[in-house]
Amino acid sequence: MDEQGALDPDVVETAEQIAAMDIRGAATIADAAAGALATQADRSDAERPAVFRAQLRAAAKTLYETRPTAVSLPNALRYVLRGMEGITVTELRASTVARAEEFQTELAQAQEQLGRVGANRLRDGDVVMTHCHSTDALSCIEAAVDAGTDIEAIVKETRPRKQGHITARQLREWDVPVTLIVDNAARRYLDEADHVLVGADSIAADGSVINKIGTSGLAVNARERGVPVMVAAQTIKLHPDTMTGHTVEIEMRDETEVLPVPERADVTGEQPNDEGFVVENPGFDVTPPRYVDAIVTERGQFPPESIVILMRELFGETTAEPWER
């Protein structure tokens, strides 16, 4: 590997963990990516500033290429690289590490703050239906529970990776009564829910919410049943490229997550791809703004159609990726 490409093994490992979903969820991915850039900066053996900068850009690119849908990842990388300032390697190192730590601190604070905003929407005795596992969404329930509000949860299992099980366990740690259901049971149980509460991987300029596959169907059913849909998303989830007409890439994951190899062999007598049927495994879907009642951020709650105002204020029109230079 050439000097400029000298990636710290921790960066490579973090990238592998994000790709394999050992590190997952948009906020957690952003936190890990910022931490990996700090490690790269801290341990870099570069003697020249240009080499140091090239190493940091290479690290950011490696992390960026892991998963395409959660914009918190490029937003985190961009934030840290923009803070890389100084003339000497020592200055560059210090500013990059400090910037990454600042990012991580602000991420945690934003989640707490949005939790307090979201908790204001929850009343004593409310039943909340969740989808997937979102730390932003859970922060709203945690803040409500901390304020003494009695909340119950109906937790969708969320095929194929069953992140709903993580949600269920977390809620039980907070003594929230939990009913775990399979995804297909969601419409039936909406009659018992007062809110649908989900997170987001990206929010587009028109207020569309990109989140775990199944969110859009849940939101449409909730609208039909008159259950309000609340999206908990820190502003790191706002997708600046969508202001200039770009769309959000939906990750297509491996078919073995849907039909593991031995199971498929049982059904068909064949290994995947050896015979007729196609398995598709999109990780995310797009919920149009008309099915969303509120986007809850650390800056307050917004109707989805007005989120672009906050997006412009926070990101301007600049969406260039520093690691492409």
Question: What residues line the site for ligand RUB (CB under 6 A)?
Answer: 24-28, 70, 132, 134-137, 163, 199-201, 211-212, 283
List the end-to-end C-alpha distance of the chain, in Å, as a whole number: 20
| Nearest residue relative to ligand RUB (C-beta) | 199
> Minimal distance in Å, beta carbon 88 to ligand RUB?
36
Would you call 132 a catalytic residue per the annotation? yes
Contact of 15 with 77, CB cutoff 8 Å = no
The 10 Å CB-count burial string (b at 16+, else e) for 259-294 is beeeebeeeeeeebeeeeeeeebebbbebebebbbb
> Minimal distance in Å, beta carbon 254 to ligand RUB?
12
Closest to ligand RUB by CB, 54 or 196: 196
The 10 Å CB-count burial string (b at 16+, else e) for 40-68 is bbeebebeebebbbbbbbbbbbbbbebbb
- Among the listed residues 8, 31, 126, 132, the single catalytic one is 132
Closest to ligand RUB by CB, 46 or 140: 140
> Minimal distance in Å, beta carbon 198 to ligand RUB?
6
- Among the listed residues 31, 126, 136, 201, the single catalytic one is 201
Closest to ligand RUB by CB, 134 or 287: 134
Would you call 140 a catalytic residue per the annotation? no
Closest to ligand RUB by CB, 43 or 116: 116
> Minimal distance in Å, beta carbon 21 to ligand RUB?
6
Ordered DSSP codes for 163-226: THHHHHHHHHHTT--EEEE-GGGHHHHHTT-SEEEE--SEE-TTS-EEEETTHHHHHHHHHHHT
**Residues labelled as active-site residues:** 132, 201
